[in-house]
């Protein structure tokens, strides 16, 4: 089949389970971008792909066509001090890895132009968290963005209209045609946007467990393996980690709340926890992939030094100030980060240990408090959320709560408390959490 073939003939070929060549896929993506493919045709194509799948070659071609549908960032003229690196996560609760990883990698000599998203469903969005910082501009002009990458080594901003525009239309159609959960469509959507940022290497955090995007561990692994293969074939060396999301990654969830947590870790006030462990593992893979370290051991050593010296915190401060936020956020965070009027401890009905939890339900509790969106246009209350969330295996009783709820009213707090009691199972037995980092999937770039 050739690109000058009518789009409906290409859709028919996919409907009948045939593989499309790269030229045909490029023609279809061009039609998605410029509107010459009608919504009905885009929907039919998405359904044909959903039902028949795509082979690796087709998925690579689709990814590259989406990547190339708009501007692909080119950093060569800037003479950057280090490789261009980024990470992507399939999303989770209490997952503020990006806020730590960007400045941490920058402090180790990498450059991180992170184009991030808003919260979706039960998962919090990095942009919503950063907007809890007064003045932080998620949409700087291109010159400012480039300058910050050179000066601070990191800038976390929102998706611009000229990055992977074909994805925006395809994603919108998938959303309303029950074709979201298709591996080739998921992979090409994630990678099309990320690879348009002109990366030298990428690390993927693919979640497994009750708060994960994919419904089963097998599906999560398949997603991770496909991303590594497709990105590497598209020319960007990529590693994926399979990490546990059977409980929130940090002991907290919310927007201003998670920024506070990031600052506590960057400044060394808090020195341990699952969040730090996952971030350190992802960052170490990136440093090795970007040739900033020869081994994972050396990478970890560099990371530990950059954190202890205050270098990572300093990069975060530079990014915030450079994007219009306060220059003294690190020193005076309580002046800038909102706090909720109502704080309430939630206690288990009987003493015991936390056996397991419905992480998705905890994320939805934060959305219901006003800390997330049901509809794309919804306003967010940055102050609300959960802190001190007990971990699987922790003892809880009349003194030790399941979590603290931060709400805008007593009524909201009561609702959230009921959600929490339903979402966290407490029992007599010993319980140990699943392994945090379940596997690392690497593939050498061809």
Residues 336-355 pLDDT 10s? 999 999 999 999 999 999 99
Burial (CB count <10 Å: 0-12, 13-18, 19+), residue 5: middle
Distance of alpha carbon 50 from alpha carbon 201, whole angstroms: 29
The order of strands in the sheet holding 85-89 is: 85-89, 201-208, 238-244, 437-442
Architecture per CATH, domain 338-427, reads as Alpha-Beta Complex (3.90)
Q: Which of 67, 168, 174, 318 is catalytic?
A: 174
Q: Which of 122, 193, 260, 406 is catalytic?
A: 193
189 is catalytic: yes
Residues in the chain: 446
In the block, tokens 């945090």 appear at 436
Phi/psi of residue 404, each to 5°?
A: -105, 135
Distance of alpha carbon 373 from alpha carbon 370, whole angstroms: 8
- Give the Cα-Cα-Cα angle 69, 202, 160 (nearest 5 degrees): 40
Distance of alpha carbon 371 from alpha carbon 268, whole angstroms: 27
pLDDT in the model for residue 445: 46
14 is catalytic: no
Q: Which of 86, 128, 358, 381 is catalytic?
A: 86
Q: Which tokens in the block code for residue 42?
A: 């885009």
Instruction: Give, as one character, the DSSP assignment of residue 370.
Output: I
CATH code at 7-53: 1.20.970.10
Q: Which of 88, 168, 207, 274 is catalytic?
A: 88
Query: What residue spans define the domains of the chain?
Result: 7-53, 76-332+438-442, 338-427
37: closest CA among 182, 170, 181?
Answer: 170
Distance of alpha carbon 392 from alpha carbon 353, whole angstroms: 8
Q: Which tokens in the block code for residue 436?
A: 């945090």
Residues 381/408, Cβ–Cβ less than 8 Å: yes
Q: Which tokens in the block code for residue 399?
A: 């003194």
107: closest CA among 283, 303, 338, 297?
Answer: 303
Sign of the dihedral through C-alpha 61, 63, 67, 73: negative
Strands 395-396 and 342-346, bridge-based pairing: unpaired
Q: Which of 90, 189, 210, 243 is catalytic?
A: 189
Instruction: Give, as one character, the DSSP assignment of residue 98.
Output: H
Q: 0.75 cut: is pTM over it? A: yes
Region of 291 (left: φ > 0; alpha: ψ -120 to 50; beta: rest) is left
87 is catalytic: yes
Q: Which tokens in the block code for residue 188?
A: 């090409």
pLDDT in the model for residue 210: 85
pLDDT in the model for residue 446: 44
86 is catalytic: yes
Parts of the chain with a pLDDT under 50: 1, 445-446
280: closest CA among 261, 304, 305, 298?
Answer: 304
Rounded to a whole number of angstroms, the distance between the first and last alpha carbons of the chain is 27
444: closest CA among 294, 233, 200, 194?
Answer: 233
Distance of alpha carbon 159 from alpha carbon 117, whole angstroms: 7
361: closest CA among 428, 427, 417?
Answer: 417
Q: Which of 69, 90, 123, 126 is catalytic?
A: 126
89 is catalytic: yes
Phi/psi of residue 32, each to 5°?
A: -65, -40
Q: Which tokens in the block code for residue 333?
A: 């965070």
Taking the CA of residue 344 as centre, how many other CA atoms within 13 Å lie in the half-sphere pointing to its CB? Answer: 20
Region of 128 (left: φ > 0; alpha: ψ -120 to 50; beta: rest) is alpha
Would you tell me which CATH number, out of the four given (3.40.1030.10, 3.40.50.970, 3.40.190.10, 3.40.50.150), belongs to the domain 76-332+438-442?
Answer: 3.40.1030.10
244 is catalytic: no
pLDDT in the model for residue 175: 84
Q: Which of 67, 194, 233, 274 is catalytic?
A: 194
Q: Which of 24, 59, 63, 89 is catalytic?
A: 89
What string of DSSP letters covers 280-301? HHHHHHHHHHTTS-SSHHHHHH
């Amino acid at each position: 089949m050739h690109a000058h073939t009518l789009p409906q003939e290409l859709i028919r070929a996919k409907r009948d389970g045939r593989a499309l060549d790269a030229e045909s896929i490029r023609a279809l993506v061009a039609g998605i971008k410029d509107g010459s493919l009608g919504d009905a045709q885009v929907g039919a194509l998405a359904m044909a792909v959903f039902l028949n799948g795509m082979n690796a070659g087709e998925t690579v071609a689709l990814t590259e066509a989406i990547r190339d549908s708009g501007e692909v960032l080119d950093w060569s003229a800037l003479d950057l001090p280090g490789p261009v690196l980024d990470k992507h996560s399939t999303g989770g609760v209490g997952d503020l890895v990006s806020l730590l990883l960007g400045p941490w990698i920058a402090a180790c000599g990498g450059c991180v132009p992170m184009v991030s998203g808003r919260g979706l469903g039960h998962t919090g969005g990095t942009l919503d968290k950063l907007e809890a910082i007064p003045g932080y501009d998620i949409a700087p002009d291109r010159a400012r963005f480039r300058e910050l990458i050179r000066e601070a080594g990191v800038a976390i901003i929102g998706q611009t209209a000229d990055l992977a525009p074909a994805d925006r239309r395809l994603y919108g159609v998938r959303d309303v045609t029950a074709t979201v959960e298709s591996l080739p469509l998921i992979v090409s959507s994630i990678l099309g946007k990320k690879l348009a940022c002109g990366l030298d290497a990428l690390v993927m955090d693919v979640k497994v467990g009750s708060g994960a995007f994919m419904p089963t561990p097998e599906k999560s692994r398949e997603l991770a393996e496909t991303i590594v293969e497709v990105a590497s074939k598209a020319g960007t060396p990529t590693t994926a980690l399979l990490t546990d999301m059977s409980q929130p990654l940090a002991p907290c969830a919310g927007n201003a709340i998670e920024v506070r947590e990031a600052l506590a870790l960057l400044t060394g006030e808090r020195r341990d926890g699952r969040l730090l462990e996952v971030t350190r593992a992802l960052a170490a893979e990136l440093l090795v992939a970007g040739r900033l370290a020869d081994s994972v051991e050396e990478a970890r050593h560099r990371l530990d030094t950059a954190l202890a010296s205050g270098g990572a915190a300093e990069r975060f401060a530079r990014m915030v100030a450079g994007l219009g936020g306060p220059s003294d956020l690190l020193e005076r965070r309580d002046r800038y980060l909102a706090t909720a009027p109502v704080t309430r401890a939630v206690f288990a009905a009987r003493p015991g240990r936390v056996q397991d939890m419905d992480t998705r339900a905890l994320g939805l509790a934060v959305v219901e408090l006003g800390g997330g969106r049901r509809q794309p246009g919804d306003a967010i209350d940055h102050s609300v959320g959960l802190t001190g969330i007990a971990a699987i295996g922790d003892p809880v009783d009349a003194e030790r709560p399941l979590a603290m709820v931060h709400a805008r009213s007593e009524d909201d707090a009561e609702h959230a408390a009921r959600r929490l009691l339903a979402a966290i199972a407490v029992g007599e037995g010993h319980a140990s959490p699943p392994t945090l980092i379940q596997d690392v999937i690497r593939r050498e770039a061809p």
